[in-house]
Amino acid sequence: MAAILRTPTVSRFIAAKVIGGVGSWLLQIAIIDALYEESGSVFAIGVWFVARMAPMILLAPIGGLLADRWTKRLTMALSTLLMGLAMLLYLGPLNAYRILTVTVVLGLLQVLYQPAEYSLIPCLVKPESLLSLNALISGLNSALLVLGPAAGAVVLSTLGLRWAVALDAAAFIVAAGLFATLSVAEPPKLAARGRRRSLLANLALIPQALKEAPSVTPVIATCLLFILGGSMLQVALYPYAVSVLGQSPGAYGLLLSVTGAGGLLGVAVAASLGRRKSLVPVLFACGALLSGIAIACTSKALAFSAGLVLMGVHGAGGAAYEASRDTLVQTRAPAAGRGRVYSVMAALLSTANLCGTLFWGTVAEHAGVLPTFLYGGIIIVAAGCLGLWVLVRPALRDQRRQAEGASPAG
């Protein structure tokens, strides 16, 4: 992993991710606080989360189509710059309408940014180092989960909302500059003749990318099952910490931080196995299994210390799953279609996340918090088993056939 960071292009990319990631947490803590203070409603916070997710659910495939057409690093730089400028709108008089409007704008820009980034990542390193790079990115996300909420809370309490917004906007503008100056050979773009097609013909290019990469479908199916199970944490983790364990609200933040710390361990394992391509499907399935088992066991954890340990184990498995998931999709999708493949996957997973959150909220309300952990964990374990069946089993079968074909005739 250290060798990857010594590459100037990768180090510049990671620096931009760190700066932008810290800025995102500063904004999230500040805006949730401002929205709650202005509306006094928990429901308003729920609407805010839906506003963040709606553009990805509705428009992600179009963003992926554009990402396959345009220069990736410039798309990332422009969308990041516009996000930084849009955040400056929070400096005006804040009300729920302004907050939700800016949130939707930021969501639309994310629709452009994320497929472009996903398509560019495999171009930053050699193929044998791709899992290590994805593990590094996943580790960065885990580290931000550990440190980001604390940093956001400190800035908000000491400097106030205006400074939080200004620092956030500045962070995104600096990140945009770093993205714009990346030196990388980009993947081939979608054929230029597609630009002159009708709207309907252009939209038909989106599912075409999936048809060209049939081996991606079982990965997405496994991910959908994982997300459906894992979305229960969004509604059950806070009441687990406060109502079941009888802890203060700060315990919820500690559980999240321990999850992030466990994620760092998971990505360290993934990075150490990065050059062994045959282990990527195994890591994907086993990461899901480990995560699901930990969540299911949490249904029996009535001590805070046990909950902390299990959330750490869940974080380790989830991070390994995430790093290997991205590697599987990026290597199985055609280079000129990665943006569209990612965007379809993102739209499906975002929809599953939203539906799962609503479903688990109902389950927790009627069945209780602890059974919700058990049911969610079982579904994630099922996702891991599905990954073993549709990804690991065929890979082992192919390896066995190759070994038999390479063995000398008796």
Q: What is the CATH number of the domain that holds 375?
A: 1.20.1250.20
**Residue 1 pLDDT:** 62
Is 250 a member of any domain?
yes
Please give the pLDDT value at position 352.
Answer: 94
pLDDT value at residue 398: 80
The per-residue pLDDT for 383 is 98
Structure tokens at 393: 């089993």
Domain around 213: 2-181+202-399
**Sign of the CA dihedral running 366, 367, 373, 377:** negative
Instruction: Report if residue 15 sits inside a domain.
Output: yes
407 within domain boundaries? no
* Residue 101 included in any domain: yes
Per-residue HEC secondary structure of the chain comes to CHHHHCCHHHHHHHHHHHHHHHHHHHHHHHHHHHHHHHHCCHHHHHHHHHHHHHHHHHHHHHHHHHHHHCCHHHHHHHHHHHHHHHHHHHHCCCCHHHHHHHHHHHHHHHHHHHHHHHHHHHHCCCHHHHHHHHHHHHHHHHHHHHHHHHHHHHHHHHCCHHHHHHHHHHHHHHHHHHHHCCCCCCCCCCCHHHHHCCHHHHHHHHHHHHHCCHHHHHHHHHHHHHHHHHCCHHHHHHHHHHHHCCCCCHHHHHHHHHHHHHHHHHHHHHHHCCCCHHHHHHHHHHHHHHHHHHHHHHCCCCCHHHHHHHHHHHHHHHHHHHHHHHHHHHHHCCHHHHHHHHHHHHHHHHHHHHHHHHHHHHHHHHHCHHHHHHHHHHHHHHHHHHHHHHHHHHHHHHHHHHHHHHCCCC
Give a yes or no: residue 276 inside a domain: yes
The reply to whether 196 falls in a domain is no
All residue ranges of the chain with pLDDT < 50 are 193-195, 410
CB atoms within 10 A of CB 250: 10
Instruction: With respect to residue 206, please indicate whether it lies within any of the assigned structural domains.
Output: yes
323 touches 270 (CB < 8 A): yes
Q: Give the separation between CA 337 and CA 335, rounded to whole angstroms.
A: 5
Rounded to whole angstroms, the Cα distance separating 75 from 200 reads 24
Q: What is the model's pLDDT at position 42?
A: 57
At 194 the pLDDT is 46
Give the tens place of pLDDT for each residue, 223-246. 999 999 999 998 899 899 988 999
What are the C-alpha distances in Å from 274 to residues 104, 129, 269? 37, 6, 9
Supply the pLDDT for residue 309.
Answer: 97
Tokens 């994805």 belong to which residue? 134
> Is 112 a domain residue?
yes
190: left (phi over 0), alpha (psi -120 to 50) or beta: beta
Q: Looking at the 3D structure of the chain, how many domains does it have?
A: 1
